[in-house]
Amino acid sequence: MHAENIQQFKISLAPYPGVLMDTVKPSANNDVCYIQLKIQPNTASGVLTFNIEPKEKRSKALSNFTLNYELKAKRVKEQQAPGLSPNDVTYLIFPDRFCNGENDNDNENMQYRVKVDRGGLKSRHGGDLAGVKSKLDYLKDLGITALWLNPVQTNDQPEESFHGYAITDNYEIDPRFGSNKEYIELCGEMKRKRLKMIMDIIPNHIGDKHWMNQYFDTGWFNYKDTYVQTNFRAPTVADPHAAPSERALNVDGWFVTTMPDYNQRNPHIANYLDQLYLWWIEVANLSGYRIDTYPYPDQNYMNHLMDVLLSEYPYLTIFGETWVNHTTTQATFVKNNIKGFEKNKLPGVTDFSMCWAFQEACSKPFGWTEGLNRIYITQSEDFLYQDPNKNCTFIDNHDISRFYSIANEDIDAWKRGITLLLTTRGLPCIYYGTEILMTGKTEKSDAYVRFDFPGGWPGDPVNKFTTKGRTSKENEAWKWMQTLNKARATYPALGIGKTTQYSGINGVYTYFRHTENQRMMIVLCQVESSTEISMPRFAEMTQGYTKLKNIQTGEVIQINDKLTLAPKGSYVFELLK
């Protein structure tokens, strides 16, 4: 409990069947104390009342007050939103920059008021939850089945609050995005439309204007008195040769000066985070969590958090951001098959290793392990994971250069990348604007990959949410992605199917996704001219089938000895008998 001079008060709980106030513990801060309740299973929902009266009866400065605390009923199983399946396609939205559905909330009266300025790279632009809600039909039309919004909790910070990663109230939606009520309504509306919501959470840090950073107790934060920055060396968590000081610095140093680093080894912080993340799943009916900066909190705590969340909500999808360069290091953070790392319980990662491979397949020349063969090599390392289907796969996001720029604005390379993303294993995620070929590189600033979606603001000169507003090339890309998104949902083999891959030869890479009843063949070609591949090489996969149906064009062709490919062609075929 946080209230002025709270330690000068005596706290008691009005009788409530099934609930006992176990202890009230003081803290080193006069304004903070800890109340522990024992709540019996099957306790009825209702409102608890705490009576709070000054310990010194004659104190004139302090007066009695009561505090109500609601025990809500838990949602019944039938009403819970499901987790994600590999047949889902997620869409990542940077909420300040996607669509402004409500002008009135643009300049909400925050403690650190930042005026909306669409011309500013790092200012707020006014996008909000009402904007997201107004585009759900657009997203469904594109074939999207789940949303991940970058953090929407309050960021009442004087600088750069637009990105959302410096939370100042963990329990409240930022009024400039909407309210808790609007967020819960959005999740409800999504559930009715069979869309799933993933919340972005940050157990590593908060914004320095968070009340906890002003009214802190001993041990809540690492390096509270002297600023120490993390070395950003995530591999130290797994590195057997890491200097102990470097390993500790990675976890305990602050991300930046404005983001105090939680000490999850402190039992009060651990308890606070456990309850916070259970609370949001229940109140908003979430399908999943994306966990920011996963290698930076205390790893024992993170494993404990996985137990807490998954024992209560076993269906929940969870993937952690583990921004590293190598598959092996990445795999140590999740449930894996590597000796010495069996204790790790994170179900999936944001699959950077696969992302770098996707990008290389669309931007680097073909070679034994390069270009498209980088995908071949990366998929061959899947033995490291207990379930690579739980990894969130992506080709760009809010922190890295936009994919169309990485692909040197070559539409054929873009199609190759999108085809790879939507036909390989994992939980594919598309960054907003990739479908309309938005460009931008992070060299100068991350803000260059976070531009407004054209048409998301009243009065925008073009509206790329509509076919009419897009150029013919943008529509070509949009249609390509839409077909594959919808195929991901309608062909189970593309999601939950097994993968059988053939090494890339002469610039062409081929793999199959298959279930017992369905077989898909994916062929990707980096060659600049028309080329042929030999089909008997795949006889073990094509046996029993006579035709290939191109899911982009609907064209059906006979399986012959040779298959002719267009220059830089990408193909997804359904095998027919």
Q: Which of 165, 296, 301, 358 binds Ca ion (CB under 5 A)?
A: 296
Report the residue number, 230 or 526, with the smaller CB distance to Ca ion.
230
Report the residue number, 102 or 217, with the smaller CB distance to Ca ion.
102
Report the residue number, 156 or 261, with the smaller CB distance to Ca ion.
261
Do residues 386 and 341 lie in contact, with contact meaning Cβ atoms separated by under 8 Å?
no
Selected catalytic residue, list 31, 96, 128, 292: 292
Least distance from C-beta 224 to Ca ion, angstroms? 13
Least distance from C-beta 262 to Ca ion, angstroms? 7
Site for Ca ion in 22-41 (CB under 5 A): none
Q: In the structure encoding, which two tokens stand for residue 193, read together?
A: 């439309």
Least distance from C-beta 446 to Ca ion, angstroms? 21
Q: Which amino acid is at 490?
A: T
Report the residue number, 31 or 261, with the smaller CB distance to Ca ion.
261
Q: Which stretch binds Ca ion (CB under 5 A): 118-126, 138-146, 385-393, 417-425?
A: 118-126
274 is catalytic: no
292 is catalytic: yes
Asked if 204 interacts with Ca ion (CB under 5 A), we say yes
Residue 85: CB atoms within 10 A of its CB come to 16
Site for Ca ion in 248-287 (CB under 5 A): 261
Residue position matching structure tokens 């005026």:
115
Asked if 220 interacts with Ca ion (CB under 5 A), we say no
CA 491/CA 479 separation, integer angstroms? 18
Asked if 170 interacts with Ca ion (CB under 5 A), we say no
Total number of residues binding Ca ion (CB under 5 A)? 9
Do residues 266 and 218 lie in contact, with contact meaning Cβ atoms separated by under 8 Å?
no
Asked if 128 interacts with Ca ion (CB under 5 A), we say yes
Report the residue number, 102 or 435, with the smaller CB distance to Ca ion.
102
Q: Look at residues 411, 294, 408, 287 and name the one whose alpha carbon lies nearest to residue 351.
A: 294
Q: Which 8-state DSSP code applies to residue 239?
A: -
CA 410/CA 363 separation, integer angstroms? 9
CA 577/CA 572 separation, integer angstroms? 16
Selected catalytic residue, list 261, 321, 360, 396: 321
Asked if 531 interacts with Ca ion (CB under 5 A), we say no
Site for Ca ion in 441-470 (CB under 5 A): none
Residue 270: CB atoms within 10 A of its CB come to 20
Asked if 321 interacts with Ca ion (CB under 5 A), we say no
DSSP-assigned letters across all residues of 73-104 = PPPPGGGSPP---TT--EEEE-GGGT----GG
Report the residue number, 264 or 526, with the smaller CB distance to Ca ion.
264
Q: Which 8-state DSSP code applies to residue 425?
A: S
Least distance from C-beta 112 to Ca ion, angstroms? 17
- Tell how far CA 229 is from the center of its chain: 25
Asked if 100 interacts with Ca ion (CB under 5 A), we say yes
Q: Look at residues 148, 176, 150 and name the one whose alpha carbon lies nearest to residue 163.
A: 150
Do residues 220 and 212 lie in contact, with contact meaning Cβ atoms separated by under 8 Å?
yes
Least distance from C-beta 407 to Ca ion, angstroms? 32
C-alpha pair distances (Å), 413 with each of 127, 358, 361, 560: 31, 10, 8, 27
Q: Which stretch binds Ca ion (CB under 5 A): 3-11, 64-72, 295-303, 483-491?
A: 295-303
Asked if 174 interacts with Ca ion (CB under 5 A), we say no
Is the four-CA dihedral 132, 138, 142, 145 of positive or negative sign? Answer: positive
Which residues have a catalytic role annotated?
292, 321
List residues binding Ca ion (CB under 5 A).
100, 102, 105-106, 126, 128, 204, 261, 296
